[in-house]
């Protein structure tokens, strides 16, 4: 990536990695942060970015996206996905392995890295599959994929069902100090379910997915993690009980982390009724109950939750324009997450801005072992700048993503209008 020189001047710098929240100028040289001081004069030939009235933070990291490439480029590609990332204020994403072919070998991992670098809108860190072909039988060549750039392993889209495979994956991943990310779901308990099982599924007559479908897998995996000494990360955690188990595991000192999505923080199963069976409210895990949602909000505040990740899951409009029961699971997230979090979590008083940056940048960077998540001198200049006052309206027709599946269409929010720098270069779309 090119290495322009920039001074970002007059902004409020929020960097939890250095306990920083104040007005500083940033000098960016050779792709890295080279100075951070109260007042900097721009050296000769240096471009100035006026950040007056804006917030500057370490580049946001979405540790859970689906870019559909290779194989389903009609839904999204690495190019459009990383454009969506940049438009949403993300300088890095980690993309799941459930492509076609599955990212279970070095060649696929290398393709993803090369494609992302060719466009340069955002860094794209591949997550390799746990098992060959995500078939849940044999370990994939995890070491080879790590050498090609994989930062974690996951069969996301599907759970690692076999307990022995999970145990071995946790052990084997220790060689590379990477987390095993689990899509925690017991497919037998899910059955034909399409939404959270509870009062609302009963009222709507839709088959339910009980909270226990997630909980029994998290419980099992935590036992395996304790015995294996591996690193375990729960993707899109959605229930109060799973959160409690993670809280207890952390208290024991286990290497356990978890992420939650904005939709599980802001919507509930009642949204499906309010939106009259709209397929844009269908995803896995399903939108849960209000008490689950309240528990997740508490988990954000008390530190149990390490990251907010969007689970950006593009689907073609034709695939979503069907009966709720027939629609594929998943919604977009990259271009709505920051505004939703700024308005509904920070402005509402649930989180401080510092804590939000931790959840959207420092936290996920730490889990994946990325250099991102900090504006400390010497770190790569991956920077997100946004206006926390700007009023925005979610408008899916203006998404950079190829897909349109969002339940947040028309939401009026305060906070957005982002600019990103990746490796010291200002990203333009």
Partner 1 sequence: MSWARKDLLGIAELSPEEIGLILDTAESFREVAERPIKKVPTLRGRTVINLFFEASTRTRSSFEIAEKRLSADSMNFSASSSALVKGESLIDTAMNLQAMSPDLIVIRHGFPGAPHLLARHLPAGIINAGDGAHEHPTQALLDAATIRRHKGKIEGLKVSIIGDIEHSRVVRSNIHLLTKMGAEVTVAGPYTLMPPGIEALGARVSYSLDEALDGADVVMMLRIQLERQGRMRVPSVKEYFKLFGLQAQHLARANKDVIVMHPGPMNRGVEISSEVADGPYSVILEQVENGVAVRMAVLYLLSGAQGESR
Residues tagged active-site = 311
Q: Which is nearer to partner 1, 118 or 203 (CB)?
A: 203
Residue 315 in the binding site for Zn ion (CB under 5 A): no
Q: Which of 326, 348, 391, 412 binds partner 1 (CB under 8 A)?
A: 326
Residue position matching structure tokens 């029994």: 216
For the bound state, the minimum distance from the C-beta of residue 156 to Zn ion, rounded and expressed in Å, comes to 4
Q: Which of 87, 166, 206, 307 binds partner 1 (CB under 8 A)?
A: 206
Q: Which of 183, 196, 312, 344 binds Zn ion (CB under 5 A)?
A: 183
Q: Which of 118, 203, 391, 412 binds partner 1 (CB under 8 A)?
A: 203
For the bound state, the minimum distance from the C-beta of residue 202 to partner 1, rounded and expressed in Å, comes to 4
Size of the site for Zn ion (CB under 5 A): 2
Residue 349's contacts (CB-CB under 8 Å, 6 or more residues apart) are none
Q: What are phi and psi of 342, to 5 degrees?
A: -65, -45
Residue 187 in the binding site for partner 1 (CB under 8 A): no
Q: Which of 323, 349, 397, 429 binds partner 1 (CB under 8 A)?
A: 323
Task: Choose one: 29-37, 191-199, 247-255, 395-403; the region binding partner 1 (CB under 8 A).
Answer: 191-199
Q: DSSP character for 345? A: I
410 burial type by CB count under 10 A (0-12 exposed, 13-18 middle, 19+ buried):
exposed
Task: Please say whether the beta carbons of 46 and 78 come within 8 A.
Answer: no
Number of H helices, E strands in the chain: 15, 18
Residue 329 in the binding site for partner 1 (CB under 8 A): no
Kindly state the tokens that stand for 419.
């600019």
Helix (H, G, I), strand (E, B) or coil at 388: strand
Task: Choose one: 10-18, 49-57, 177-185, 248-256; the region binding Zn ion (CB under 5 A).
Answer: 177-185
156 binds, among Zn ion, partner 1, none (CB under 5 to 8 A by kind): Zn ion
Q: DSSP character for 381? A: -
Residue 343 in the binding site for Zn ion (CB under 5 A): no
Helix (H, G, I), strand (E, B) or coil at 66: coil
How far apart, in whole angstroms, are the C-alpha atoms of residue 149 and residue 145? 6
Q: Which of 115, 156, 186, 335 binds Zn ion (CB under 5 A)?
A: 156
Q: Which is nearer to partner 1, 233 or 320 (CB)?
A: 320
Q: Where are the beta strands (DSSP E) in 301-398?
A: 307-308, 383-393
Q: Which of 277, 328, 352, 354 binds partner 1 (CB under 8 A)?
A: 277
Residue 105 in the binding site for Zn ion (CB under 5 A): no
Strands 208-209 and 195-196: what pairing? parallel
Task: Please say whether the beta carbons of 175 and 143 come within 8 A.
Answer: yes
183 binds, among partner 1, Zn ion, none (CB under 5 to 8 A by kind): Zn ion
Residue 104 in the binding site for Zn ion (CB under 5 A): no
Q: Where are the beta strands (DSSP E) in 101-185?
A: 123-128, 152-154, 180-182
Before 2, cis peptide (omega within 30)?
no
Q: Which is nearer to Zn ion, 337 or 374 (CB)?
A: 337
Residue 230 in the binding site for partner 1 (CB under 8 A): no
For the bound state, the minimum distance from the C-beta of residue 236 to Zn ion, rounded and expressed in Å, comes to 6
Q: How crowded is residue 204: how many other Cβ atoms within 10 Å of its Cβ?
A: 17
For the bound state, the minimum distance from the C-beta of residue 283 to Zn ion, rounded and expressed in Å, comes to 9
Q: Which of 62, 69, 141, 197 binds partner 1 (CB under 8 A)?
A: 197
DSSP 277-305: T-GGG--SSPP--HHHHHHHHHHHHHT--
Q: Which residues here bind partner 1, judged by CB under 8 A?
A: 197-208, 276-277, 318, 321-326
Q: Which residues here bind Zn ion, judged by CB under 5 A?
A: 156, 183
């Amino acid at each position: 990536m090119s290495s322009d020189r920039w001074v970002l001047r007059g902004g409020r710098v929020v960097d939890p990695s250095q306990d920083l929240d104040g007005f500083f100028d940033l000098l960016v040289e050779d792709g890295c942060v080279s100075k951070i001081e109260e007042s900097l004069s721009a050296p000769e030939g240096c471009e100035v970015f006026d950040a007056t009235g804006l917030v500057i933070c370490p580049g946001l990291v979405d540790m859970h996206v689906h870019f559909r490439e290779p194989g389903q480029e009609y839904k999204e590609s690495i190019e459009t996905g990383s454009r969506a990332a940049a438009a949403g204020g993300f300088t890095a994403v980690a993309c799941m392995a459930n492509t076609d072919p599955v990212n279970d070998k070095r060649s696929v991992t290398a393709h993803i890295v090369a494609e992302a670098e060719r466009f340069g809108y955002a860094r794209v860190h591949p997550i390799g599959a746990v098992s060959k072909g995500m078939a849940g039988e044999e370990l994939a060549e995890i070491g080879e994929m790590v050498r090609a750039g994989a930062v974690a392993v996951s069969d996301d889209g599907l759970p690692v069902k076999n307990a022995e495979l999970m145990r071995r994956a946790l052990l084997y991943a220790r060689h590379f100090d990477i987390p095993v990310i689990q899509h925690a779901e017991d497919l037998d308990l899910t059955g034909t379910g399409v939404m959270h099982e509870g009062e609302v599924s009963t009222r709507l007559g839709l088959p339910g997915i009980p909270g226990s479908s997630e909980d029994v897998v998290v419980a099992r995996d935590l036992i395996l993690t304790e015995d294996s000494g591996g690193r375990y990360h729960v993707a899109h955690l959605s229930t109060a009980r799973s959160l409690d188990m993670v809280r207890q595991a952390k208290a024991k000192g286990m290497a356990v982390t978890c992420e939650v999505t904005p939709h599980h923080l802001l919507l509930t199963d009642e949204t499906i009724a309010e939106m009259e069976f709209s397929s844009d409210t269908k995803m896995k895990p399903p939108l849960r109950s209000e008490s689950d949602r309240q528990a997740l909000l508490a988990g954000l505040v008390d530190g149990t939750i390490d990251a907010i990740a969007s689970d950006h899951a593009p689907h073609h409009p034709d695939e979503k324009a069907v009966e709720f029961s027939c629609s594929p699971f998943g919604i977009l997230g990259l271009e709505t997450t920051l505004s939703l979090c700024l308005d509904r979590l920070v402005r509402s008083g649930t989180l401080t801005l510092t804590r939000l940056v931790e959840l959207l940048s420092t936290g996920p960077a730490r889990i994946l072992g990325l250099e991102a998540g900090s504006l400390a001198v010497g770190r790569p200049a991956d920077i997100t700048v946004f206006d926390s006052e700007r009023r925005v309206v979610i408008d899916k027709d203006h998404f950079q993503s190829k897909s349109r599946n969002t339940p947040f269409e028309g939401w009026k929010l305060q906070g957005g209008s982002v600019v990103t720098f990746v490796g010291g270069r200002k990203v333009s779309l």
